[in-house]
Structure 1
Amino acid sequence: MMKINYVHCFITQDQQFLMLQRNNPPFKNMWNCVGGKIMPDETPREAVIREVKEETGLDLQSVQFKGIATWNQAGGMYIFVAETFTGELTECTEGTLAWKSKEWILQSPEVVSSIRTILDDVLATDVPVEYALFYTGAEYEGNIWKYEVCRNDEHNDSKRITRGLS
C-alpha cells in the first residue's frame, strides 16, 4: 500500500502565490509550494498548518483540501489551498520565500514540474481530486511524462483524464 507522507499548500493572496526556493534536495534551488512531512499521529490538516507556520511564520485561518498527488505509484502528498492567514512572513532555513504570479509559476523552468502541471486543476476543482504523476529520472527529479486526474461526478462514477506531457 502506498503511503502518503507529505503535505503541500498553495498559499494565495492578491492573485499571488507564496513559493519557496528550496535549499535542500529534492528539487534543490527549485521553487515549490510550502509544505513538508506529516509527523506520526498528525492529520494532514494539522501537518499543513504546522509546516506553514514553521516555514513562513504565518498562521493559516482556513485551509481547503484539494486532493492527493501521487508520484510513480511510490509516494504522495495531500494538497491544500489557503487564502486566509495572520502573522508576518519570516525567513526560514528551508529556503527563500517570495510571492509569485500564477503566470510566472506556470512558465518558469525554475518551478518544480509537478506544481506547474497541477496548479490550474487544483484551483479549478471544488471537490478533492487525485493526481497520478509519472516521472522519468532518478529520485523523481526528472520530467513528468504523464499525469492523470481522477474526479468523481455527482453519480460517484470515477472520471480519469490522462494527459501526456513532453
Structure 2
Amino acid sequence: MSNLFTMCFIENNNQLLLQKRMKKPFIGLWNAPGGKVEAYESPIEACKREVQEETGLDLGKVHFRGVITVTNKSRKKSDALMLFHSREFSGDIRSSEEGEVAWVETEKIYSYDNTPPSFIYLLPYILETDGILTGKMVYNKGILEMFDININI
C-alpha cells in the first residue's frame, strides 16, 4: 500500500525553514516540514495544513515542484512525496510536538551532518531550477541506495 505525503521548502531571503524531526523517519535530523495527505484533502491543502500545524506559518502562494517515489526495500513499500516551494507566508514560527523549527542560512545546510542525505541531494533542484521534478529515492535498512531525479521543463 502506498501513501501520499507532502514536503514544503519555505524560503525567506537566504534562509530556509527547517524542522528537527521528533518522529520517524529521520528522527533527530533537520528536514523540511510536511506530512501525510488526509482523506478528502488535496496535496496543496495538506501542505498548507501541515506547515501551519508544524511551524505556525500560514502559507500564501505555494508552487508545486514535483513528485518522487520513496521506496523502503526492507518493507517492500513505496510512498509518493509531493514537493512544494513557497516564499509567501505570514505569522511567526513556533515549534510543535512534531519538532523544533528554525530559520537556517541555506548555504550552511549543505555542510550540515544532521540532515538526511536525500534532503541535501534534493535541495539544489528545488532552489536552483524551475522545472517540475520527478524521480525516486530507494532506501534499504535506513540507508539511501538510490537517488534519481529528472527535471521536466
TM-score, normalisation: structure 1? 0.82
Q: Distance in 1 between matches of 2:82 and 2:47?
A: 9
Paired residue for 2:101?
97
Q: Distance in 1 between matches of 2:107 and 2:140?
A: 25
One of 127, 134, 146 as aligned partner of 1:130: 134
**Letter paired with 2:42:** T
Q: Distance in 2 between matches of 1:57 and 1:152?
A: 32
**Letter paired with 1:15:** N
**Letter paired with 1:32:** N
Q: Distance in 2 between matches of 1:64 and 1:151?
A: 15
Q: 1:152: how far off?
A: 3.2
Q: 1:58: how far off?
A: 0.8
Question: Which consecutive unaligned segments of at least 5 residues does structure 2 have?
Answer: 72-76
Runs of 4+ in 1 over 2 A off after TM superposition: 150-153
**Residues 69-108 of structure 1 mapped to structure 2, 5 A cutoff:** 69-72=68-71, 74-108=78-112
Q: Is the 8 A contact 1:66 1:125 kept in 2?
A: no
Paired residue for 1:150?
150
Higher relative contact order (CA 8 A, sep 6+): 2
TM-score, normalisation: structure 2? 0.89
Q: Distance in 2 between matches of 1:24 and 1:145?
A: 22
* Aligned CA distance change for structure 1 residues 152 and 24 (closer, same or farther; 3 Å): closer
Paired residue for 2:27?
28
Q: Kindly name which structure, 1 or 2, has the bigger radius of gyration based on alpha carbons.
A: 1
List per-residue Cα deviations over 1:60-113 (Å, max 9, x = no partner).
Answer: 011111111212271121000110101111221111101112222222120022
Q: 1:4: how far off?
A: 4.7
Note the aligned Cα RMSD (angstroms). Answer: 1.6
Q: Is the 8 A contact 2:69 2:136 kept in 1?
A: yes
Give the % identical residues. Answer: 32
Q: Distance in 2 between matches of 1:135 and 1:23?
A: 20
How many pairs are equivalent? 148
